[in-house]
Amino acid sequence: MIPGQSGFAPVANSRPLPLGEIRILPWEDFHANLLQAVSRGGRVAALFGMSPHGENQLFLVLADDTDNKLWLARTRLEGPSFPSLTPSCPQVHLFEREIAEQRGWAPQGHPWLKPVRFSFAFRSGPAAPEAAPTIGVTDFYRVEGDEIHEVAVGPVHAGVIEPGHFRFQCHGEEVLHLEISLGYQHRGVERALIGGPDKRSIHYMETLAGDSTAAHSTAYCQVMEALGRCKEPARSQVIRGIALELERIANHVGDLGALSGDVAFLPTASFCGRLRGDFLNMTALLCGNRFGRGLARPGGVRFDLSTELAEELLQRLDSVESDLASAVNLLWDTPSVMARFEGAGPLLKEDAAELGIVGPAARASGLLRDTRHDQPWGIYRFVHIPVSTGGPGDVFARAHVRWLEVQRSMAFVREQLRTLPGGPHRAECGSLAPESVCVSLVEGWRGEVCHVAVTDSEGHFLAYKVVDPSFHNWTGLALALRNQQISDFPLCNKSFNLSYCGHDL
Amino acid sequence: MLKILLTRLRQGHRTLRFPDGPAPEMPDRFRGRPEIHAAKCPERCSECAEACPTGAIEIGAKARIDLGKCLFCSDCADACPEGAISYSRDYRLAVRARSDLIVEEGVAVRLEGELDRELKRLFGRSLKLRQVSAGGCNACESDVNVLNTVAWDIGRFGIQFVASPRHADGLLITGPVTRNMHLGLMKTYAAVPPPKIVIAVGGCAISGGPYIDHGETCGGAESVLPVDLYIPGCPPHPLTILDGLLRLLGRIKNGERPDAAP
């Protein structure tokens, strides 16, 4: 996909690379090569700013999913601004806004340059939050006209849910445009990681997005192992895989129940609400915490999985399986559910590709995109889970893809529990290699979790970029709402179920 | 329709018997109330305090753990050369006073007390709560939400999460209270008619948790509002939250222990 002479440096998922091997390209080459790669199916996994030795640089991670490769590139910014890439490459739109907000480097010509999190965290040290703009105050896009009305929802909205602000431009019931403005959950994680790792780093990872603890902590551990020259034992790779799939199952099951509740079909809503807990409790058997906290640690996992525990987990899987299948299959057999699911909130394949949508949302739009398959790591290099794709990108497709994934993840967990490799579950992890880079991708239940660590000459984090799948996908939700009924918003929202704190960091 | 009814029959009755019956068993690796065995502490050792990611451990005459800051990660227990700290499976952690969150050897556990008579008369059989996430990572939120499922069925105690603060008797707050949510939280609190209570769920809401000293957060709900009930954990187990709410309403009496062995 990407010509070798482009000046981009190839690297595999979770492998270390000396920073010096990533050439600093002139802007023209950086720009042209990026556009060419994206036009051939390349995907921007991360784009962020950093300042090694006081020099302002843009750092790009480009995923080549057909070739299981990542391509890294850098360019130097000479002034306080750079020409925006967004008009010709929409999938960088939020990355550029983030760079503008964090660093103050303005992408000239960006069509939608607004705050991302209402924070100036990187501009002038820890005191910068004081100077941040007022949350929620921005020039919201407006549709004008006598019959147009605006609906503003949030940050505090009905239900036990995280805060965010949604602005709908409506003509009657029809949504012409939805703008999603976040930042309420901003806790300053990326700023605090600079200079690390330290004793708190792993806990930031475990609380980045609480329902994706296994995904983010695994991604972090892989960074630490790659840069710390540690070979992660096979046994811990499998245990991490089991935890990741249990996390996926629990969240998908919970969301299938919630989707059912959103169309007022209460049987599946109640059954799945309980069944989700059964999967969380399996994770708690592994590590004592229902969200997988305390399990993944640099070098492996903190808790071993004994034969008796594996046996107990297998029994529990058996006991919930038929309950789960009968509860979920009611959805597809009930016309009143299908009438609401089908056709609601469509996200076209072309739009999903152009926006760089990831995870089940991308697969439901027909994109064959799954980090476990495209950029495999750990156990997924040896055991392949079929990629579940769906049809037209509507609520039904997103629900159905999740159900396929639940079944395939359960089969995976079973297989792994029966064939646990021997050996230790944790190895020693050394100090981090100086002046190095590692990109770690993990397929969380919402999609690709991307962590990029760059170390300084002392082996401390010079930059630590976290890209939660929600960062890519919130715009997908906004697009899916176009020309839909506003009353379908909760349903569409739940079909994506994106993370607020994962976006806000 | 027939299929729905058959499925319903097969799923059976799944609501916990707690608190009238036994509490569900906690998994072996569950980390509940920590215990300190100070006699094992070597002279001038502070390994546990140094390992703690949130500064929850203070070493004075004796080691003390502040459950309001504790993430229940057990990094301290791992760091201790003598095994002086262990985490029990006791899920009962909620208290009414911030100072009761300090665990110290030889100091009796003081579980929370009931609301005063007037508040108990008002809320004892009907407590409507507005949940506000102010930087919560969605783990506390999820395990609060779980109480609405058929397995926990919190509605049977008259406790309900409502959409409008105007309908609420109090707030249940999660998250370290980010600066960006400060105004939203204060406005929601102001919209709750008095008398009202505030419940802080999770280490973040009590002290800021891992975000304790971040300029982007206010360091927990207590720094901005009066808190009536503290439920520690990262996140607290649903049973810990339910136990706390029921003790607050006098549905479980102090000292009472619905399950035999913690």
B143 with B91, same domain: the answer is: no
Cα–Cα dist A502/B146, whole Å: 21
| Cα–Cα nearest to B259, from B13, B17, B14, B31 | B17
Indicate if B122 and B236 belong to the same structural domain: yes
Question: Which of A119, A124, A160 is best to mutate for the B interface (most B CBs within 10 A)?
Answer: A160
In a domain, B22, yes or no: no
pLDDT band per the 50, 70, 90 thresholds, residue B260? very low
- Taking an 8 Å cut-off on Cβ atoms, the answer to whether A207 and B10 are in contact is no
DSSP, residue by residue, A40-100: TT-EEEEEEEE-GGG--EEEEEEEETTTTEEEEEEEE--SSEEE-STTT-GGGHHHHHHHH
pLDDT score of B254: 65
Start-to-end Cα distance in chain B: 44
Angstroms from B94 CA to nearest CA on chain A: 18
**Distance (Å, whole) CA A410 – CA A395:** 23
Give the total number of structural domains in chain B: 2
Are B128 and B195 within one domain? yes
Question: What domains does chain A contain, in order, with CATH numbers?
Answer: 4-131 (3.30.460.80), 148-181 (no CATH), 189-504 (1.10.645.10)
Contact present, A30 and A60 (Cβ < 8 Å): yes
Structural element, H or E, at residue B63: strand B63-66
The reply to whether residue B73 touches residue A132, judged by beta carbons under 8 angstroms, is no
Looking at the structure, do residues B97 and B218 belong to the same domain, yes or no? no
| Residue at B167 is within a domain | yes
8 Å CB contact of A500 and B139? no
Q: Average pLDDT in the B26-52 region? A: 91
User: CB of A18 within 8 A of CB of A436?
Assistant: yes
What is chain A's pLDDT, residue by residue, as a tens digit (505 residues)? Answer: 565 557 899 999 999 999 999 999 999 999 999 998 898 889 999 999 998 888 999 999 999 988 889 999 999 998 889 999 999 999 999 999 999 988 888 999 999 899 999 886 666 555 455 566 888 888 899 999 999 999 999 899 888 889 999 999 999 999 999 999 999 999 999 999 999 899 999 999 999 999 999 999 999 999 999 999 998 899 999 999 999 999 999 999 999 999 999 999 999 999 999 999 999 999 999 999 999 999 999 999 999 999 999 999 999 999 999 899 999 999 999 999 999 999 999 999 999 999 999 999 999 999 999 999 999 999 999 999 999 998 889 999 999 999 999 999 999 999 999 999 999 999 999 999 999 999 999 999 999 999 999 999 999 999 999 999 999 999 999 999 999 999 999 999 999 999 999 999 9
Q: Do B52 and A199 touch (CB under 8 A)?
A: yes
CB atoms within 10 A of CB A474: 21
The answer to whether position B53 is within a domain reads yes
Residues B136 and B223 in one domain: yes
Given a cut of 60, whether residue B256 has pLDDT beyond it is: no
In this complex, do B135 and A185 lie within 8 Å of one another by their Cβ atoms?
yes
Same domain flag for B95 and B122: no
Contact state of B139 with A291 under an 8 Å Cβ cutoff: yes
User: According to DSSP H, which parts of chain B are helical?
Assistant: 2-11, 47-51, 75-79, 117-123, 139-145, 179-191, 203-207, 238-248
Residue B173 lies in a domain: yes
CATH number at residue B123: 3.40.50.12280
DSSP annotation of A486? G
The CA-atom distances, in angstroms, between A182 and each of A114, A361, A494, A499, B180 are: 11, 20, 17, 11, 10
Q: Range of B80's domain?
A: 34-104
Centroid of chain to Cα B66: 13
Q: What is the pLDDT of residue B115?
A: 79
Mutation for testing the A interface, residue in B142, B147, B240 having most A CBs under 10 Å: B142
**CATH number of the domain where residue B100 is located:** 3.30.70.3270
To probe the interface with A, which of B178, B187, B245 has the most A CB atoms within 10 Å?
A: B178
Higher pLDDT, B256 or A98: A98
- CA-based nearest residue in chain B for residue A324: B11
Residue A134 CB burial class (10 angstroms; 0-12, 13-18, ≥19): exposed
Nearest to B175 by CA among B194, B160, B165, B188: B188
| Domain end marker among B78, B104, B130 | B104
Check: CB of residue B7 under 8 Å from CB of residue A329: no
Residues of A in contact with B209 (CB under 8 A): 207
Do B134 and A163 form a contact (C-beta atoms < 8 A)? yes
Domain end marker among B104, B138, B159: B104
User: Would you say A156 and A166 are in contact if contact means Cβ atoms under 8 Å apart?
Assistant: no
Bridge-based pairing of strands A165-171 and A174-181 is antiparallel
Instruction: Find, in chain A, the residue whose alpha carbon is nearest to that of B220.
Output: A187
Residues B232 and B157 in one domain: yes
Minimal Cβ distance to B145: which of A160, A191, A291: A160
DSSP readout, A157-218?
A: -SSS----EEEEEEETTEEEEEEEE--TT---HHHHHTT---TTHHHHHHHSSGGGHHHHHH
Q: Which amino acid is at B22?
A: P
Domain end, chosen from B51, B72, B104, is at: B104
| Any domain includes B17 | no
Same domain as B176, residue B98: no
User: What pLDDT does A459 receive?
Assistant: 94
Kindly identify which residue of chain A lies nearest to residue B29, measuring between CA atoms: A288
Tell me if B153 is assigned to some domain.
Answer: yes
CB-CB contact of A14 with A223 (8 Å): yes
- Check if the beta carbon of residue A429 is closer than 8 Å to that of residue A299: yes
What is the tens place of the pLDDT at every residue in B146-196? 999 999 999 999 999 999 999 999 999 999 999 999 999 999 999 999 999
The model's confidence at residue B258, banded by pLDDT at 50, 70 and 90, is: low
Q: How far A202 CA lies from chain B's nearest CA (Å)?
A: 9
Cβ contact, residue pair B188, A271, below 8 Å: no
The token pair at A202 is: 């792993």
- Assembly ipTM: 0.93
Contact A472, A478 (CB under 8 A): no
Report pLDDT for B212. 93
CB A455 within 8 A of CB A465: no
- Rounded Cα distance between A236 and A248, Å, is 18
Let me know if residue B258 belongs to a domain.
Answer: no
Residues B254, B67: Cα–Cα separation, whole Å: 19
Q: In terms of domains, do B212 and B163 share one?
A: yes
Looking at the fold, whether B180 and B88 belong to one and the same domain comes out as no
- Asked if residue B183 and residue B89 are part of one domain, the reply reads no
- Is B190 found in the same domain as B160? yes
Tell me the Cα Rg of chain A.
Answer: 22
> Angle A395-418/A234-262 helices, nearest 10 degrees?
150
pLDDT at residue B261 in the model: 41
CB contact under 8 A, A293 and B181: no
Confirm whether B257 is domain-assigned.
no
Closest Cα in chain B, distance from residue A347 (Å): 26
* Cβ-defined contact of B178 to A184 (cutoff 8 Å): yes
Alpha carbon separation from B48 to B51, B65, B66, B74 (Å, rounded) = 5, 10, 13, 9
Distance CA B256, CA B262 (A): 12
User: How many interchain CB pairs under 8 A, A with B?
Assistant: 187
Contact A463, A264 (CB under 8 A): no
